[in-house]
Structure 1
Amino acid sequence: MRSRLLAFGLPAALALVAHGGPVRADPGPGPAPYLDPHLSVQDRVEDLLGRMSLDDKLGQMTQPERRYVTPAEVTRYRIGSVLSSGGSAPDPNTPQSWADMYDGLQRAALAGPLRIPIMYGVDAVHGDNNMVGATIFPHNIGLGATRDPALVRGIGAATAAEMAGTGVDWDFAPCVCVARNDRWGRTYESFGEVPELPSMMTTIIDGLQGDELGGPTSVLATAKHFVGDGGTEGGDDRGDTRLPEKELRAVHLPPFRAAVKRGVGAVMVSYSSWNGLKMHHNRYLITDVLKGELGFTGFVVSDYNGIDEIDGRPGFTKDEVAAAINAGIDMVMVPTEWRRFIDYLRDGVKDGDVPMSRIDGANRRILTKKFELGLFERPMADRSHLKTIGSAPHRKLARRAVAESQVLLKNDDVLPLDEDDKVFVAGRSADDIGMQSGGWTITWQGRPGPITPGTTILDGIREAADPDATVSYSKDGGGIDSSYDVAIAVVGETPYAEYHGDKTGDLGLDDADLKTIGRLRAAGVPVVVVLVSGRPLDIAAELPKWDALVAAWLPGTEGEGVADVLYGDADPRGRLPVTWMRSGDQEPINEGDGKKPLFPFGYGLTYDG
C-alpha cells in the first residue's frame, strides 16, 4: 500500500462544523467506522456521508487553484481538492517545495472535524511536466506513432512514481481525444486521428493507477475531454462538434469506453459543444451515456472555469451551477471564484433547483476514490519516491520512447549516418530543451530555452558521433561549407498549448526555418530535416529540396532518442498517427475521407526496407 504517514483519529471537538452547522452523527468515544480500514469502501463512504453537513458536501465538490486558496480556507470550507493550473508551481520549483506545499494543504484538510483529505490535481500530460527536473516524455502524438501500448503503460507508471514523491495524487491525463483537424492546438495531446489508437493507448491509465488504486505510487487518472473535443469545426479548441450521434459514437466515444473498462478514476468534461449544446450542460451524454450506458463509477470533473461558458457569457451564474451539477458533473474546477460557487450551489439546493440526491451522489463518487487511494490512512507525501524524479531509469525509458516515436518520411540514401561523418547541425530546435518539449512543459504554453534539465537533440548527435568526428553547430545555418558530409536542420514549431495553439492560417514552416534550410542547401551537401512539431506541417512544396525528412514530434527532455535513429542505433519504426496533408487547405484530412495526402495514415519508412 502507498507509504504515507498515518492519519490520526478525529479531534475531540466534533460538535460544530464551521460554516456547516452540527455534524449528523456523534462518532462516540472511539474512532468512527469510516476511519476503520478493515471495513469495505462502500461501508466507509456511507458512514462518512451520514456524518457530513451540507457545507461539508459542497466543499468536497469544489476545486480551487492553489494560488487562490489558503490552508485556513481549505480547513474552513472543507475543500475537497486543489489544483495547479499549467505552470502554477511553488517557489522554488523543486520536488521538495512541491512536497512541502502538498503536505501543508493536506494538514489543513485534516484539521477539519471530519478529517477528510484533499486530492491534489495537476496536468501531468507527458511526465510530471510542471516540475523542474522531472522526466519529460514525448507528447501523445509521438506515443501514438510508436503503436506500443506496453511502452505507454510504463510511461504512466514512471509519471506516477515521480508524482508520488511530491504527494500529488491526481493526474488530469490521459487525453483520449481523437484529433480530426490538425489546426487544433491540442492535436499533439491526441494519440491519433482514429479511435483505435487512443483506445489502444489507454494502457497509460494502468500505469498511472497501478493494478488497483492505493498502490505504492498509484495516482488517480483522468480521461479527457468528454466528448468530441477533437472534432470541432475548424479545429476550434472550444468550438462545436457538429456530428450525428452515430458518428460521435463511432469516432469519439470508443476511447472513453476503453478508459472506463480500465477503471479510470475520473473523467473531465470538454469545453466544446456537441451540435450547439455545451458539454458542461449535456446531461444525456454525461449522466445517461457515460455514467449509465458505459457504467462509469468514478467522478466527473469540469474543466478549468468550464461551467462559465454554458450560457456563452463570461463568469458563471446560479443557473449555470445548477445546470452543470444536474448534468452530472461531480466536482467543479473553479480556480478563483470558488466561494461564490459554493454559495450558488448551496442556494440551488435550498431552492430545490439541485436535488440533495445529486449532491450525495457526487460526494459518494468522490469519497469512494479517496478511500480507494488510501488517503485516509496515508494522506501525506511519501518522500522516499523523490529519488525517482528525473532518474536514470526513467530517462532511459523516455529515450526509448523518443526513438520509437520517430517517423522516417523520406530518405534518399542519406540515413542512417555514419559515426565518422562530418556533420553540420542547424535550426532553432537543435539545441533547445524548451523547443523540443513543446507546451505543457514547466509553463502552460511552454517556451524556448533551458527550462528544465535534459539532453538536446544536438547533445544526442554529438554523443552518437565518433569522438573524433566533426559535429559543427550554427543556429541559423551560417558557416557551413561543402566539406561536410551531411547537414541536419532541426526546425519546427514554437511551443504552444490549448486555445493559443489553434491555427487558422498558414500551417507551414516560418521564414527563419526556411532560410536556415536554404543556407544548408546552398552548401551543396545532403540535407536532413528533423521536424519538431505537434502536428503535421504544410511542407509539400519544400520536400523535393530535402534529402531526408524525419517527424520527431515533441520528444521531451531526452534528445538522444532522435540521434539514436539518425545514426541507426535504433531503426525507425514509428508510423504516422495522423494523415499528413498535401496542403493546409485540405484540413481536415483523415484516413478514408477520399482526399489525397502527402503521406497517408500509418506511413513510415525503415532502414531495412
Structure 2
Amino acid sequence: MKNTTISSKNKALKILLIIVFIILWFLIFLSFRITFNWFKDDSLSYMDENLTTEQRVTALMEQMTVSEKIWQMILVERGSIFDPLDIAKYSIWAVLNGSGDNPFLNTSSGWLEMVNNMQAYAQRSRLRIPLLYGVDTTHWHTNVHGATVFPHSIWLWATRDADLVRRIGKATAEEMVATNIFWWYSPNLDIAIDPRWGRFYESFGSDPNLVWELGQAYIGWFQSNLSNGARAMATAKHYLGNGSMVWGSSSQSNYFIDKWWSFISEKELREVHLVPFKKAVDAKVWSVMIGLNSWKWVKVSANKYLITDLLKKELWFDGIVISDWYWAYEIEWNGYKSLIKAINAGIDMVMLPYDYKSFSANMETAVKKWDVSMERIDDAVRRILTKKIELWLFKKNLIPKKDFQIFWSTEHRNIAREAVRKSLVLLKNNDNLLPLSKETKKIIISGSAANNLGKQSWGWTIEWQGVDWNKFPGTTILSGIRNIVSKNTDIEFSELWDFWSSEIADVGIAIVWEDPYAEWVWDKRMLVLSNQDLAAIQKTKSSCRRLVVIIISGRPINIRNQEKDWWAIIAAWLPWSEWQGVADVIFWDYPFTGQLPVKWDLK
C-alpha cells in the first residue's frame, strides 16, 4: 500500500514537471517570437501592397487599441529613450534626433546603424508598425559629420534661382535617405521681417512671392521619387505668422522676440504670411509644423480656426500637423489642459519631446473623460499612417547597407559651391576694385573665420548652436584663395591681424562675422560689428593699399558709420563648407549675381 502511494506521488510529480516544462517552453517560445518576430503573419491585410492606401490604413486601424492609436501621435526625442525596449513595449512609432543629438559614431554609417537599431525594436511591437524617423535641422542633413553643408535658406533667396533650390532639395533627400531617415523638419516658410530675430536667417526672405516660389521648388524635389524609388517627407514651418512677432512682447524673460506675440490683421496674415503655406499645400507638402508664436492673444498651437478651419478645411491640407519642440505644453500652465487644447485645435502629432509615458496617460484620461473625442484621434492617426504607407516605410524599414559615396560627393559639393557664389552680394565696389587679379602681388587676409569651417557653417551644424572647429570636410576662404591665385602671389594670413611683414600689401581682405547662433539665443537689439571686428578692419587697412571687407552674418549689419573708407564690401552671408565659391567670384571666374534677400541700407 505504501509503495502504491509513493508510485502515485511520483506519477503526479512527473505530470506536474511536464506541465511546468510545457509552460516554461511556451514562455520561452513566446519571448523569442516577440524578440525576433518569428512566424510573422504576412497575411495581415494592412501589409498587402495590392490594396489601396486607404484600405490598408482602415485595416490597420481596425486592429489598433486606443492606447496604440495614442502612441502614433507621439514624437519622441531619441535621447530621452533610455531603454530601447520601450519602443516595442509602449509602441513608440515616431522618433526624432534634435540638433546635436548624434550617435556615438557621428558618420553616415553610424547614423544608419542607429536608425536601423531603432527600427528593429519597432518590429518587436505587436503590429510591427515602422518608426517615422525625423531630424531637426534647418540647412540640410547637417547633424551628420561628412554631409554636404548647403547654405541656409535666406542666402538661397539671394540666388533667386529656383532650379538651384530644386537640386539642393534632391541632393539633401539623397543623403538623408541613405541613413534610413525619411522626414526632415524644413523648409522654413516664415516671412523674415525683423532682423533682430535669432531665426531670421532660416527664412527664404521678406518677399512672400519669392518665399513661396523657392519653398515650393524645394518641397517638390525633396519629396519626389529618388533613383532607388524612395521618397522623403518635407515639413513646411512655422505656421502661421511666425515672422510677424513684435519685439519685446514675450511672456518669457530670456526671449526678446522669438515665441512672442503678433498683432497683425487677418487680412495681412492671409495676404502675406499664409501665401507660402498655401503654395506648399498646392505642392503636396506632407507635413506642417505649427509655430511658437501667438496671434491676437491666442497661441497658434491652440488656435482651432487657424489649424483646423483654415489649414485643414479651407486649404484642404491632408497631411500631418505637428507641434514644435515642447510647445503643446506651453499653451497654459496646466500641462494636461494645454495638451488637450493643442490636440483639439488640430495638432496630429506632438513633439514632446521627452516624457512619453505621461503623454500617453494624459491622453487616455482625456478620452475617458471625453475631453478629446475618438473622432479627433482617429483623424490624426489616419493622417499619420497614410504618410507612413506612402513613404513605403512598411517595406523599407531596415536598410542593411548603403553606398555612402553620395555624402559630400563631387556632384553635391559642386551644387553647394554654385549656391555660395550665386548668393554673394556686392554691397560696395569703389573704383571697381573687384574682381581682383589672380596675379596680385601681395594679399593679406585677417580674421579667424577665414580658416574656420565651423564659423562659416553656423548654427544647426553638428550641434544646435554650431561648432568652432575645422573637423569636418570643406574648403575655407583662406584655402579657396590660395587655390585660385597665381603661384607668384604672396598671401599672408593672421587671425589676430598681426602681420609680420612690413611691406604694404596691394590688397587686404578683412573677414568679420557674427558668432554662430540659433533661435532665440541670439535675439539681438543692436546689429553692429563688435569692437574686435572694427579693430581688425582698421589694422588690416593700415597694412594694405586697398581694403575688401567680407561680412559673414545671419542678417544685415549696421555699418553706416564705418564703411566710408572701405573700398569694397561683400555680404557673404553664411557660405558653409564650400568657400571656394567665394574665391571664384572675388577673382572673376564668375560674376557677382546675388541680390539682397532683405533690406540692407548702407546710407
SS at match of 1:201: helix
Question: 2:444–2:544: 8 Å Cα contact kept in structure 1?
Answer: no
- Paired with 1:206 and 1:29, the residues of 2 have a C-alpha distance of 37
Q: Which amino acid aligns with 2:223?
A: Q
What residue number does 1:347 align with?
365
Q: 1:242 and 2:263 equivalent? A: yes
Q: 1:233 and 2:246 equivalent? A: yes
Q: 1:517 and 2:529 equivalent? A: no
- Aligned counterpart in structure 2 of residue 144 of structure 1, from 157, 168, 171: 157
Q: 1:55 and 2:67 equivalent? A: yes
What residue number does 1:541 align with?
561
Q: 1:488 and 2:509 equivalent? A: yes
What residue number does 1:595 align with?
none
Return the offset for 1:384. 2.4
- Paired with 1:197 and 1:187, the residues of 2 have a C-alpha distance of 15
- Paired with 2:104 and 2:261, the residues of 1 have a C-alpha distance of 38
Task: Name the one with the larger helix percent.
Answer: 2
- Paired with 1:468 and 1:561, the residues of 2 have a C-alpha distance of 22
Return the offset for 1:572. 0.8
Return the offset for 1:61. 0.4
- Aligned counterpart in structure 2 of residue 452 of structure 1, from 452, 456, 472: 472
SS at match of 2:176: helix
Q: Following superposition, which runs of at least 4 residues in structure 1 exceed 6 angstroms of deviation?
A: none
Q: TM-score, normalised by structure 2?
A: 0.90
Question: 2:166–2:220: 8 Å Cα contact kept in structure 1?
Answer: yes
What residue number does 1:37 align with?
49
Return the offset for 1:580. 1.2
Query: Which deviates more from structure 2 when the two are superposed, residues 38-47 or residues 519-528?
Result: 519-528
Q: For the structure 1 residues 42 and 481, does the alpha-carbon distance in structure 2 shift closer, same or farther, using more than 3 Å as the test?
A: farther
Give the RMSD, CA atoms, in angstroms: 2.0
What residue number does 1:130 align with?
143
What residue number does 1:383 align with?
401
What residue number does 1:420 align with?
439
- Paired with 1:481 and 1:491, the residues of 2 have a C-alpha distance of 23
Aligned length: 558
SS at match of 2:510: strand
Return the offset for 1:180. 0.6
What residue number does 1:274 align with?
295
Question: 1:13–1:113: 8 Å Cα contact kept in structure 2?
Answer: no
Question: 1:176–1:256: 8 Å Cα contact kept in structure 2?
Answer: yes
Question: 2:34–2:124: 8 Å Cα contact kept in structure 1?
Answer: no
Query: Which deviates more from structure 2 when the two are superposed, residues 58-67 or residues 235-244?
Result: 235-244
Q: For the structure 1 residues 451 and 493, does the alpha-carbon distance in structure 2 shift closer, same or farther, using more than 3 Å as the test?
A: farther
Q: 1:178 and 2:191 equivalent? A: yes
Q: Which amino acid aligns with 1:272?
A: N
Identity within the alignment, %: 41
Q: 1:299 and 2:320 equivalent? A: yes
What residue number does 1:4 align with?
none
Q: Which amino acid aligns with 1:415?
A: L
Q: TM-score, normalised by structure 1?
A: 0.89
Please give the residue correspondences for 1:308-327 in structure 2 after superposition, counting only pairs within 5 Å. 308-311=329-332, 313=333, 317-327=335-345
Q: For the structure 1 residues 465 and 524, does the alpha-carbon distance in structure 2 shift closer, same or farther, using more than 3 Å as the test?
A: closer
What residue number does 1:554 align with?
574
Question: 1:168–1:381: 8 Å Cα contact kept in structure 2?
Answer: no
Q: Which amino acid aligns with 2:353?
A: P
What residue number does 2:552 align with?
532
- Cα deviation, 1:422-449, whole Å, max 9, x if unaligned, reads 2111113211101111100000011322
Q: Which amino acid aligns with 1:181?
A: D
Q: 1:430 and 2:444 equivalent? A: no
- Cα deviation, 1:159-178, whole Å, max 9, x if unaligned, reads 11111111111100101111
- Paired with 1:331 and 1:349, the residues of 2 have a C-alpha distance of 16
Return the offset for 1:382. 6.2
Gaps of 5+ in 2: 1-28, 248-255
Q: Which amino acid aligns with 2:464?
A: W
Please give the residue correspondences for 1:571-582 in structure 2 after superposition, counting only pairs within 5 Å. 571-581=591-601
Return the offset for 1:468. 2.4
Return the offset for 1:391. 1.2
Question: 2:508–2:544: 8 Å Cα contact kept in structure 1?
Answer: no
SS at match of 2:521: coil
Q: Which amino acid aligns with 1:46?
A: T
- Paired with 2:401 and 2:534, the residues of 1 have a C-alpha distance of 48
Please give the residue correspondences for 1:363-382 in structure 2 after superposition, counting only pairs within 5 Å. 363-381=381-399
- Aligned counterpart in structure 2 of residue 407 of structure 1, from 407, 425, 434: 425
- Paired with 1:56 and 1:186, the residues of 2 have a C-alpha distance of 36
Question: 1:161–1:385: 8 Å Cα contact kept in structure 2?
Answer: no
- Paired with 1:377 and 1:250, the residues of 2 have a C-alpha distance of 42
Query: Which deviates more from structure 2 when the two are superposed, residues 116-125 or residues 394-403?
Result: 116-125
- Cα deviation, 1:77-129, whole Å, max 9, x if unaligned, reads 11121111111000021111111110011011111111100111112322211
